[in-house]
Amino acid sequence: MAQALTLVVAVVLIGFISWWFFGKHEQKEVSATMEDKNLQKVKIVVDGGYTPNTVVLKKDVPAEIVFERKDPSACLEKVVFEDFGINETLPKDQDHAIKIDTHKAGEFNYACGMNMFHGKVIVK
Ligand SMILES: [Cu+2]
């Protein structure tokens, strides 16, 4: 009986670990949409991480990333784009737009204030 229980616990644990590594952290990539001729926008929901965590912006078109933070933790309160010198506090349950410079193509990482959760902006 104890053995069976151990087995069940092991299976559940393995399931949880694979979900943690392969499920939650799957790379989702979303392209910004044109709001008007001169603005592209993409929304990222902040809730236990960033969804989507990778966004694609068109080069040389002014861009805004709109963060909506649903997560109450202080961990995700800040978002940091090191390459752009951006370090902003995200108000909870509100849309917060951050302008991104798209003059340079490349991949730019962003993270929470403690560098625990990560995302990526691709400009191309
Ligand atoms: Cu954090």
Of the pLDDT bands very low, low, confident and very high (cuts 50, 70, 90), residue 27 is low
For 108, the 3-state DSSP assignment is strand
Distance 19 CA to ligand 1 centre (A): 20
Per the prediction, the chain carries an average pLDDT of 91
Residue 20 — very low, low, confident or very high, per pLDDT cuts 50/70/90? low
Please report, for residues 13, 14, 47, 123, the alpha-carbon distance to residue 32 in angstroms, rounded to integers and kept in the order given.
Answer: 37, 36, 20, 10
pLDDT of residue 2: 77
Cα(115) to centroid(ligand 1), Å:
6
47-103 pLDDT, tens digit per residue, is 999 999 999 999 999 999 999 999 999 999 999 999 999 999 999 999 999 999 999
Q: How far is the CA of 7 from the centre of ligand 1 (A)?
A: 34
Mean pLDDT confidence for 37-42: 96
- Locus of tokens 């592209």: 40
Q: How far is the CA of 49 from the centre of ligand 1 (A)?
A: 9
Where do the domains of the chain lie, and which CATH numbers do they carry? 29-123 (2.60.40.420)
Residue 90 DSSP one-character state: P
Check the CA dihedral 10-12-14-20 and report its sign: negative
What does the pLDDT read at residue 21? 63
CA of 111 to the centre of ligand 1 (A): 8
Q: How far is CA 43 from the centre of its chain?
A: 10
Cβ count near 42 (within 10 Å): 19
| Percent of the chain residues topping a pLDDT of 70 | 89
What's the CA gap between 34 and 58, in Å, rounded? 10
∠85-88-94 over CA atoms, to 5°?
A: 145
**Tokens at residue 94, please?**
């509100």
Given this model, what pLDDT does residue 113 score?
Answer: 95
What pLDDT score was predicted for residue 42? 98
